[in-house]
Amino acid sequence: MYTHIMVPVDLAHADRLPRALETAALLGRAAQAKVTYVGVTAETPTGLGHNPDEYADRLAQFAQEQGEQHGITTAARAYASHDPAIDLNDTLLKAADDLEADCIVIASHIPNVADHLWPSHGGAVARRAKASVFVVR
């Protein structure tokens, strides 16, 4: 059904991801699709790495662990952004195009009033992506 599943991940808040990761793994196994974990980092040092390279290493390790844990084929793709707080949605959409992903599994929070001002990333990606999008709450 799907050949390439993209899973946006925020490694700083990996504790909020399990349901989305499980969903992606289920789909990946069922469709025998490759699952690529996409992360967006700042170019300045962050808590996840001194520079984008260290972040990319960490993301690759995360992808490998997911692959071993769920028995699926995984990869990782890191993007560095000038202003990740704002550029995130555009970067994820670009990643989906770059990867030619035909499915996106993205974790999102339960909608609240703030979404009227700042729509959730999951919602924004679902609205604009060409691929199928699973928004996991």
Contacts with other proteins by CB under 8 A lie at 12, 37, 42-47, 50-53, 56-57, 59-60, 63, 75-87, 90-91, 94, 98, 112-115, 118
Which of 30/63 has CB closer to other proteins?
A: 63
DSSP 27-69: HHHHHT-EEEEEEEEESS-BTTBSSHHHHHHHHHHHHHHHHHH
Smallest gap from Cβ 10 to other proteins, in A, equals: 9
CB of 19 to other proteins, least distance (A): 19
Q: Dihedral, CA atoms, 60, 108, 93, 51, nearest 10 degrees?
A: -40
Q: Which is nearer to other proteins, 22 or 53 (CB)?
A: 53
Least distance (Å) between residue 29 CB and other proteins: 21
Sort strands 103-107 and 34-42 into parallel, antiparallel or unpaired.
unpaired
